[in-house]
Amino acid sequence: MQCKRAKGWISAIGGLLPLTILSVVAAPALSAATVESRISGSWDDAEERDNGRMVRASSDLEMSWDAGGEQAVGLRFKDIPVPQGATITRAWIQFTADETTSTPTYLNIQGLTGYVKTFKTNRHNLTSRPRGEAVVQWTPPRWRKSDGAGPAQRTPDLAPIIQELVNQKSWRQGISNIGIIITGEGERVAVSYNGNKHKAPLLHIEYDEAETTVNQPPVVNAGPSRSITLPQNSVMLDAEVTDDGLPAGNISYRWERVDDGGGEVTFATPDMEDTSVTFSEPGSYRLRLVASDGELGGFDEVTVTVNQIPSAISSISQVSAFATGQDEAGNWLPVRATDPAGLYIDPMNSHLMVTDSEITEIPEVWAEVGANVFETTTRLDQLYGEYDVSPPIAYQQPNLEAAGIAKCETDGHYYIVNDDRQRLYRYAFDGNSMVMVDAVNTFPLTATEGTLDPEGVTCDPEGNIYVAGGHGINILVYRYDGGFALQRVIYLNEAQSISGPEDVPTDPEGIAFDPVSGHLFVMNNDSDEIFEYSTEGAYLGRHSIHGFRPKPKQPQGLSIGPSTRTPGKMSFFIADPRVDNNFDPTERDGLIYEAEIERP
């Protein structure tokens, strides 16, 4: 109570005597209370070995010698109904002996601060948690019999530890948990929850509390930092908000982005405690959850790291360079492509298809050869067939500049692009001839969406047809179902880059789909580099062929197939027409490079 002093007088025999009157002024009443809480789940008590390995669901708790080393024991008592800031008068933990032990034992007991979650299996999950400053030392006497649960199995007064915990600003009556960590040396073995849930450790608390209650702001835990790797681009945010229920017990939530860099961030339910969030690009994103009870608010932040897809290639090395066209004496080589432009390796038989985009422009050569697609081996030492793909179908012009070539295994047809007519042609192949059956204009949209110079084409196992072009730095993605249908456009000049905008091909030519990684590879003529992308257009890396010999002049066509040097490995095959016959019609100096792939 509080006392207020006042002066007055009272009559008495012989006169007036001075009187001091004490008037009682009411203070907030204090009430004494007792709380007991027993371990209530197999994940609420745990042991951490000296190597950090977590053990849950054990039948006993070894304090602290076990498995050849000293360990830590963790206890979690749930939803403690002690008011925030209450005065703790006494507290202890009552254990039940699981074994008789007499080894001298010296234990240190501390509290775990913050919101205490269940113990997990990741290493050091107990000892890595923050602790309070209060420490109570316990030197337990002998435990003379198993199943004993008396003073010998009871800790000293833990009031300093419990007081420290309930004084935390984040403490919420009936919601917060009390976490205890016990370390030291010696051996006392207690019954755990899984040993006998009725004899699991029991926390006893006695406290005094003021009857008046003050509204406290919500305590927000936005959850642990997260890390994902593309193509996974979304994650579930598992937050936890606790509140004292004042003033009306209603909590509002708001998820928001804190940083202003990187790509777009989309919350599925930004006004809910838990929400999924989607990211458009790799990067590190800071996200904030704000919670309000109508009067007071709290917040917490979480970082989500969206990692780039790792490159599928660690290095490439040249295996060989195979010549096409004619030798130095003017004799025809097995593959009579004077300007090889496109390549495709059939995974069923490892046959290599080679296109020539300029052979029709040399009348005497075209008259003699009469073919612009050549079927050979990956060593180019044997010819299986020569095919003329120029004859058109109705309403189409001849395909006189056959560039990139690919076969879609989903429909068994070949697709060849023409870099002069801006066309993607579809062919039926019966083993003896290629017959044009359909075509589509690759410049149907705008200068930024279409391509004026389609150079390369490839297919993936899903039937998507990717067309790369030299003018218009993009990849068109088609599907064929009774006709060509443009699905989307991959803008390479907007692709995510690790080091900057220089990671964009300036003259994309050949394109190849890697069946091992599912990545796309684009041959860039200007820099003698193979650029690597995901099928969504995320930039993943680049791989140089600049040091190849003979030095590349105009690398164009690109395909991936079995290595001719190392069984079980894959190689890039790269077409280089060398000197374009537009500039020197007498040149017959084509090359096909092989570069073996090393994977991480």
* Three-class DSSP category at 360: helix
Residue 27 has a pLDDT of 37
Q: What is the mean pLDDT of residues 412-419?
A: 94
pLDDT digits (tens, 9 = 90+) for 529-557: 999 998 988 888 899 999 999 999 999 99
DSSP secondary structure letter of residue 369 = H
DSSP secondary structure letter of residue 346 = -
Cα separations in angstroms, 184 against 58, 187, 241: 20, 9, 34
Q: Does the structure show a pLDDT above 50 at 97? A: yes
DSSP secondary structure letter of residue 128 = T
DSSP secondary structure letter of residue 551 = P
> For the range 389-395, what are the long-range contacts, defined as Cβ-Cβ under 8 Å and sequence gap of 24 or more?
389/355, 389/416, 389/425, 389/427, 389/434, 389/436, 390/360, 391/435, 391/436, 392/436, 393/436, 393/437, 393/438, 393/439
Please state, in angstroms and rounded to a whole number, the distance separating the CA atoms of residues 588 and 339.
Answer: 7
CB 123 within 8 A of CB 53: yes
43 is written with which tokens?
């994940």
225 is written with which tokens?
């930092």
Please state, in angstroms and rounded to a whole number, the distance separating the CA atoms of residues 242 and 175.
Answer: 7
The 10 Å CB-count burial string (b at 16+, else e) for 59-69 is ebbbbbbbeee
Cα separations in angstroms, 157 against 44, 90, 214, 360: 22, 6, 29, 97
Residue 98 has a pLDDT of 94
CB 425 within 8 A of CB 500: no
Using CA atoms of 573, 577, 578, 584 in order, give the dihedral in degrees to the nearest 10: 170
pLDDT digits (tens, 9 = 90+) for 436-454: 999 998 875 444 444 567 8
Q: Does the structure show a pLDDT above 70 at 138? A: yes
The percent of residues in the chain predicted with pLDDT above 70, rounded, is 89
* Three-class DSSP category at 52: coil
pLDDT digits (tens, 9 = 90+) for 207-239: 987 554 678 889 999 999 999 988 788 999 999
Residue that wins the pLDDT comparison between 300 and 261 = 300
Q: If you search the block for the tokens 């009725």, which residue do you land on?
A: 198
Query: pTM for the whole thing?
Result: 0.57
User: Which H/E stretch holds residue 74?
Assistant: strand 72-77
Please state, in angstroms and rounded to a whole number, the distance separating the CA atoms of residues 325 and 341.
Answer: 12
Strand order through the sheet with 402-408: 402-408, 413-418, 423-429, 434-441
CB 532 within 8 A of CB 542: yes
Residue 445 has a pLDDT of 46
**Residue of 294, 306, 279 whose CA lies nearest to 244:** 294
CB 402 within 8 A of CB 342: yes
Q: Does the structure show a pLDDT above 60 at 164? A: yes
CA 181 to chain centre: 33
Residue that wins the pLDDT comparison between 139 and 22 = 139
